[in-house]
Each structure stands twice: as structure tokens, then as C-alpha cells.
Structure 1
Amino acid sequence: MKPLTVQDLKAITAGHLVQGSEEVLIQHGAYRLKQVKRPNTALFTNKPIVNWKDFESLYPIVLVTDRLYSQKEIPEQIIIIKVNDIDEAYWKFINFYRNQFNIPIVAITGTSGKSTTKEMIKHILSAEKNVVSTPLSSNSRTASLQYLLNIDDDTDAAVFETAVGSPGDITLAGEYFKPTIGIITNIGAHHLNYCKTLEGYIQAKGEMLDIISPTGSLILNDDDSNTSNIDLSKFQGRIIKVGKHQSCDFRASNIRYYKNGMLFNVHHKKKLYEIYVPGFGEHQVYNALAAIAAIYEMGLPISLASKQLQSFRKLNKQLQVFKGINNSVLIDDTWNITTTSLEAGLKVLNALGEGKKKIAIIGTITDLGSWGYIIHEQAGELIAQIGVDVLITIGEHASIMAVHAIEEGLTSPVHIFKNSTLVYKLLDKLVDENTIIFIKGDMYSKEVSKLADDLKLKKSSTSE
């Protein structure tokens, strides 16, 4: 955080000092008491606080509040700024802080690929710039303040994930970050327990258009059918399309698997660039295209992206390739599961498994609410269309996809398990050196994730 004094904060929030010194320096911010982790934190709250003694090691704390406290309630080491409305004061502070920095800020959303795309952009920019970002796959709404305050005078650019758990999430993130560049990687079916319908989920993702600066840019996957349902008519900035179609601003062609990643050509403004990016699958090409478009919008050359992407390191448990039991090949994709990422993973399984026995182990898709049955049926249809030699499902809802895959014409052996207890024994019988295993689940399914770890013959990934 760029430090400011109590006197500064008093002026920003239009408050008045009730207790303490105006000269105290503020170096951190919080809007919940449990977020106060270090001294010199400004805490915005009107909640009653009775356990100040637990925070003595973190004094001085600057309390910004519209609550009336008696002097007996609060220790004298707590600086108090009294404001008329705590919410109004908080957002005055947020707006003041964000407006201090005239730097490119990228906001990324999408059903899948947002963490990878964010990390790619960060990796490319880091060659020449000081970059702030959301850490790894973290994108908690409650941490937006901390993400914003990580920006200071040394920051050249920032890249933030803006996830959708429910409608309004991206709009709220925009209040903090005010991005100059927005990216929608793709839109599948996810978080339908709160968004209710696929249309509602698409609309929630489409909030990205409303938070980008009017002079900013929106980067879209032109080949994604759900993204094409977003109404772009009111967007005032530049629309940049990435994909395989001739009309795309950044177009990929000649896509092929190469060593431990993907090799492809990028066409932009009548120039051709050859790009290699670690990580298997055509979806990785789309992630790289979005990252290239973003850094180009910041004024950096595509040649820099080409050079930097060669040393990009994939995220843990996202289509990582290992040596598995009985000298098989194991693809660990147990970070997240949606129909979008499942389709991408099955295509990687088919590409890498040519000439091998292909086994898919798939867990339950979460956060679907009343849409659970339909989405699991759609997953079963994908499995039948793409095909596997052996299908294993783990979990009660995952069984729906197994049954529907059979109904859709899958003739391969199918094994349905309520839990993972007996799966390892089955695999030990089925698997040999001519087998490739794809295991798909999410971070919340501990038993699927543990099974993936148990199936690894050694801990070092062959694709690093």
C-alpha cells in the first residue's frame, strides 16, 4: 500500500478525529476485524468491537466508523475517525486510492482459463515491469481490498481475476479495480446455484463490459458460442477478438502438440508469429492468445510474449502430466471441473493417448444447484462424443454422466463408484505401460485429489 497519514484519511473520508494523532502513518486497510493482521491498519467498520486486548500487538489501529463509542470502550492507542456514513467513507477511500495510479489494470473472468491467462500475462509483463496480481488461482471477493492495496508507486501494471459466484460479483470487483482491459476467456455452465440459469450466468459474466474504462479494451474468445450471446452494443471501448476465425484480431493457425506444450502461429496485422506455450490442449492456445492481446494493448511487442511464454510454468493440478502406476501416463486435472474444462481435458486425453488405452476418472461437478442433473447429463454426452476406452465416475452425481454416456452410445466399459475407496484396486488391474489415465475433479473433492496423488509413480511432473 502507498502509505498515507491519519490526516490524509480524515480529509478523504470527510471525517473528524475523535482520538489519537493525525501524524500516524497508515500502511494497510481492512473492513473486517479479522483482516487486521499488521500494525498501522485502517479498519472501516461500524460493528461493535469488545475484544481490543486481543489486538494489542497490532497497535496502532486506525478505526474509521460512524458508530458512537464511549471513551471507556476503546483503548487510547486506537485512533478514531468519526464519519457520517461508513459505507460512503469506505468507497471514498477506495476511489481515492485507485485513482492515484494511472497504470494498465487487467480484469479477467471466464468459466475456465482465467488463472492461467492471468499468470501468462503476469509472466510476460514481469520481463520488463513490476506487476501486481491476484495470487495463483485466488480470486476471493473478500480480498479485493487487499489486492487493490498491493498497488503502490512502484507498480507498473496489475492483473486481477474477477470470478463469478453470483450476479453482481464482477460489478463489485469493478468498483475496486476500475480495469482498463477486460478479458472473458469463455463461458460454460457453472455457479448455477446462484445465477439460476445459463442465461443468468452469461449475464453475470457480461458485467465485465460495464466495469471497463470507456477508453479501455475488451478481449473476447470469438470462437466461444456462449460469449457471442453477450450484448456488446453498449460497450464504448475497443473490442478485440481472439480465435481461429479469419476475422479475429489475433488469429491462431497451424495448431499442433509439440514436446510438452502447444506450437501455433499467430496472425496479427498481416504479420505472422510462431508461438510455443507449455501446457497441452487447444484451450491453452486460447489462453495464450488472450494474454498476447492484453500485453499488446499495453504497448509491448508480440515478440516479447513469444519469448516469455516459452518459460511459462503451468499451474498445479491443471492438466499436469506425470508417470503413473504400472508405468502408465497420468494427467492430473483435479483443480476445477466444469463441462468446459472437462471437454478440453478429454480432448487432451485423446491427443496424448493415441495408440494407448485411455481411461477417464471423473468426479462430481459442483456449484450447479437445481441444474445438477442436466449439466451432468451434458457431461455424459461430451464423454460419449469424444470417447474413452474406460470410464470411471466417483460420486453420486457423477454417476448421472456415466449413465447418460451409455445412453448416448458409449460402448466402452463403465465403472460407477460412490467414493474412491475401490478405484485404485481396479486401476491396478487395468493399467499398464500402454495406458494413459485422465483424472478430473475439483479442489473441493479431497478424495479425487488424493486418488490423483496416489496414482503418481513419482512426484516430479514430466511436463515441467
Structure 2
Amino acid sequence: MIVKTIQQVAEMMGAPYELSHKDIVIQGVSIDSRKIEKGNLFVPLKGDHTDGHRYVETAFQNGAAASLWQKDVPNPPEHFPIIMVDDTLEALQRLAKAYRDELSIKVVGVTGSNGKTTTKDIISNLLSSRYRVQKTEGNYNNHIGLPLTLLSLKQDTEAAILEMGMSSKGEIDFLTRMARPDIAVITNIGEAHLLDLGSREAIAEAKFEIINGLDKNGVLVYHGDEPLLERLVQNTPHLTVKTFGESAKNDLYPTKIRQTNEGSQFSINTEPEREFFLSVLGKHNVFNALAAILVARELGISYDEIEDGLKKIELTKMRLELVEGSKGEKIINDAYNASPTSVRAAIDLVSELQGYERKILVLGDMLELGPKEKQYHEEIGKEINPHAIDYVFTIGELGQYIAKGAKTVLPEHRVFAFMEKEKLVEKLKSLLTGNELILVKASRGMKLEEVVLLLQA
């Protein structure tokens, strides 16, 4: 983490500091007064519903060594080490960029509509065989989270894997210029953010902004089967690229994929005699692994190390997490997020897995899909294979359209639509014998992990 004197911090942010506290050393940065660690610099942010300046004195009581204070906020405390700045968020971002510029470190930036976090986790695991690695934790992937991640990097960290999220044009550009990646990864282009950006073409352009901060000798790793990305690459001269995907035109593609209840077995074109085992469910995660393999190879990781690393992947929670319900049923908790692309992939996974008496989908609203959101939900329902899926349960206003579509391919007595989680779980439990496989998936705002907890109770 950043360890600097208050004077050095002020200089890195471009904020003059003349007070007697200038030699006090800060260690790390926090924006939450409740989570202050001793020696932290507290950064009070102004939000729509709260103002961190109200908690500055609490932050000092909890161990903060210093705090920023925005000049337009009245009554700064007089007896604590305070650095006055024009805007606390901008000061945090300037500090993070200055700190990143000091570090001698390999940076991998990861963006995409789906699979960012999984790809980040796999890359981190593969690189850990040879490097001291840190990665974005949780959802710290935006204009606040990325600066905090950069400022948490230890001086001896050798590789940082940084996830970059967005909701509108220009956000990835801002993040990548701060992070300055040596390798940039675009996992895919899906439908997430159609509400804000309007088209998949606009989404692709927004994700492609990641190259704007790429080192001049850097490499872009991207899904080569996506024509929207291919077109952007062709229009960008002097860009070094590596591609992954399903087709043989890519630098890296699978020659065999087999799903099991424990993970995925696959072979690749560059090592045809070797079989890799990825301890993560889902064919789509094999492609996330291919992106990670290309990154690892660029940074000198051997195939032996890659093979070993893939077996030990631990993903962020609620991403195809296999857990057990109270009757012994197996539940795939994929409640972290959802888009049409990721929902289709998860349903395909459930359809492929063997050894279960019945297979059940619990699907909720997919958010931020724009004016065609009802159509996207209904299409999901219509595409369900009635020979592979036994029951469909939906929850939410938009979930009802999944149910509507599902009733065109499944008998109505196998499709249930709910607005309340408790009633959904009550009905679902009445059908369970213990040898079922249940997929639980929706956008983050639906909080369907609560359904998983109710099924386990």
C-alpha cells in the first residue's frame, strides 16, 4: 500500500501543504470511516445521500493519520492533520495515478461485457506461480474502486490484475489512462449497458477504449470471434494483438471441451496432446481461461505452470458457485449478475451436466437492457430446451416475460412466475426430492442469493 508523508501525498495530488504535520506518515487509504486501519489517509467523498466529511472526526478516532477536506465544505476540524483540496474524488484519483507511475510493475487490465471478474481471478491464479500478484477485490472496478485498488498495491507487488467496469462511454478511457496496462483484455461484447449506450456497436467502442492507456509495447488480448472488435482492431494501426475464441482463426482456441460436475476438461491448439482441467463450471469459462492463458504466456508462464494453476482456481463468490440445498439438491449460485449472453451460457451448462433426476431454472430480471428489455427476456424463455429443463421459476417484473416465453415451449404446469422470493422457494421446495440441479441467476439488483440461502435453510 502507499506509504508516504503528508507532504509527499499533498505534492502527488497537487495540493499545497504548509502545516506542521507534514512529516506524519500515512499508510494506505480508506473512504469508509468504519473500516479505517491505523495510519490510513481518510478520503471523505460527497455522495447523493451522504457526505463523508461528516465522519472525518470519527475516522481520526478510529486511527486515521490524516484526512482530505474539500474546500467548499465549511468548518474543517482544526486540530487534526487535514489536506485541503478542491475536490476529494479528483484528489484521490490524482494520488492513485501518481502512485501507479512510481511503481515498477506489470499491469493487466481486464474489461468486457461478461466474464471480467472470472477472467481476472484466473489470470491472478496463473501468474501467482511466478509473480507476487494483487488483483481488484470485489467490485472495486470503477472511478472510485480502481484508485483504491492502485493505492493498495504493495511496493513489492510484481503484477496487478485490474478489472475495469463501465456504464457509459469514456469511463474505460479514464480508468485505463490511470492504470496504464501492459496487457489489456476484452473478454467479449454482450448486451449489458444497452440502456445507456444503445447498441452493441457502441458497447464495443466503449470497451475498446482500454487500448487508450495501453503501453506502447503492450498487447491487446481479445475475443477474435467478435466482428465488432475485429473491425475496431483493423482500424487501429500498430496495435499488437492476440486472439482467443472458438474458431481456428484465433491464436488460441479449444480443440476439445468436456463438461463435468466438477469443472471443464479441454485441450488447445498450441498444446494438442495436453488436457487441461479448469475447476470452474461452464463452457464460457473455458474461453475466459483461454484469455488468461494468453496473458500468462505473454508474461513467461510455462504450460506446466498453467495446467497446475487451472486446477486450483478460486472464483469470487456467486459466480457459478456449486452449493447444496437442505434436501441435498445441488444449486448453482450464479446470482452476481446477468445478461442475455451469460444467462444463455448458464442454461447451456445446466443442460449439459449429467447425473441429476431433474433440472430447474430460477431466473430473475436482467437489468439495464434498454427499450427491448421485455423482448430479451421473452427470447430467453422461448430458447429453453424442454427436453433438458424440467421446471422454470421466474421472479420479478421482467422475469414474467421469461415465463411467458417458456410457456411456448414447456407445459404451463412446469413454469411458475413469482414476485416474492419466499413464495417462490415455498413452491420450489414442495417439488424437491434431493436429486435436482438448480440454477439461480439474475442481475445483481435482484439479490437472488437470498433464494439460495432460503433453499439451504
State the TM-score bracket (shorter-chain normalisation). Answer: 0.7 to 0.9
Equivalent positions of 1:202-241 (< 5 A) are: 202-224=204-226, 227-228=229-230, 230-234=232-236, 236-241=238-243
Q: Which residue of 2 aligns with 1:77?
A: 80
- Please tell me whether the aligned partners of residues 442 and 449 of structure 1 are also in contact (alpha carbons under 8 angstroms): no
**Offset of residue 275 of structure 1:** 0.9
Cα distance in structure 2, aligned partners of 1:205 and 1:261: 29
Cα distance in structure 1, aligned partners of 2:247 and 2:52: 58
Q: Which residue of 1 aligns with 2:147?
A: 145
Q: Which is worse superposed, 427-436 or 398-407?
A: 427-436
What is the letter of the counterpart of residue 311 of structure 2? Q
Cα distance in structure 1, aligned partners of 2:165 and 2:187: 12
Q: Residues 92 and 427 (structure 1 numbering): CA distance in 2 closer, same or farther, change over 3 Å?
A: closer
**Offset of residue 51 of structure 1:** 7.0
**Offset of residue 86 of structure 1:** 8.0
Q: Residues 397 and 38 (structure 1 numbering): CA distance in 2 closer, same or farther, change over 3 Å?
A: same
Cα distance in structure 1, aligned partners of 2:345 and 2:55: 50
1:198 aligns with 2:200: yes
What is the letter of the counterpart of residue 288 of structure 2? N
Alignment: residue pair count:
451
Q: Which is worse superposed, 164-173 or 335-344?
A: 164-173
Cα distance in structure 1, aligned partners of 2:188 and 2:325: 31
- Please tell me whether the aligned partners of residues 34 and 59 of structure 2 are also in contact (alpha carbons under 8 angstroms): no
What is the letter of the counterpart of residue 395 of structure 2? I
Stretches of structure 2 that go unaligned for 5 or more consecutive residues are none
Equivalent positions of 1:320-359 (< 5 A) are: 320-324=321-325, 326-353=327-354, 356-359=357-360
- Please tell me whether the aligned partners of residues 219 and 239 of structure 2 are also in contact (alpha carbons under 8 angstroms): yes
Q: Which residue of 2 aligns with 1:460?
A: none
Summarize deviations over 1:377-429 as a string: whole Å, max 9, x none: 3322432599522222112211112212334x445732222223333343344
Cα distance in structure 1, aligned partners of 2:40 and 2:364: 46
- Please tell me whether the aligned partners of residues 17 and 82 of structure 1 are also in contact (alpha carbons under 8 angstroms): no
Stretches of structure 1 that go unaligned for 5 or more consecutive residues are 458-464
Q: Which residue of 2 aligns with 1:61?
A: 66
Q: State TM-score, norm by structure 2.
A: 0.85
**Offset of residue 433 of structure 1:** 4.8
Summarize deviations over 1:291-333 as a string: whole Å, max 9, x none: 1111111122122111111122244332233444554433322
- Please tell me whether the aligned partners of residues 209 and 235 of structure 1 are also in contact (alpha carbons under 8 angstroms): no
Q: Residues 11 and 427 (structure 1 numbering): CA distance in 2 closer, same or farther, change over 3 Å?
A: closer
Q: State TM-score, norm by structure 1.
A: 0.84
Q: Which is worse superposed, 427-436 or 131-140?
A: 427-436
Cα distance in structure 1, aligned partners of 2:434 and 2:58: 58
Indicate the SS of the match to 1:373. helix
Cα distance in structure 2, aligned partners of 1:397 and 1:107: 33
Equivalent positions of 1:451-462 (< 5 A) are: 451-456=451-456
What is the letter of the counterpart of residue 349 of structure 2? V
Q: Which is worse superposed, 219-228 or 329-338?
A: 219-228
Q: Residues 355 and 19 (structure 1 numbering): CA distance in 2 closer, same or farther, change over 3 Å?
A: closer
Q: Residues 157 and 387 (structure 1 numbering): CA distance in 2 closer, same or farther, change over 3 Å?
A: same
Indicate the SS of the match to 1:189. coil
Indicate the SS of the match to 1:380. helix
Q: Which is worse superposed, 323-332 or 112-121?
A: 323-332
**Offset of residue 445 of structure 1:** 2.1
Cα distance in structure 2, aligned partners of 1:182 and 1:290: 10
- Please tell me whether the aligned partners of residues 441 and 449 of structure 1 are also in contact (alpha carbons under 8 angstroms): no
Output the aligned Cα RMSD: 3.4
Among 244, 260, 263, the residue aligned to 2:262: 260
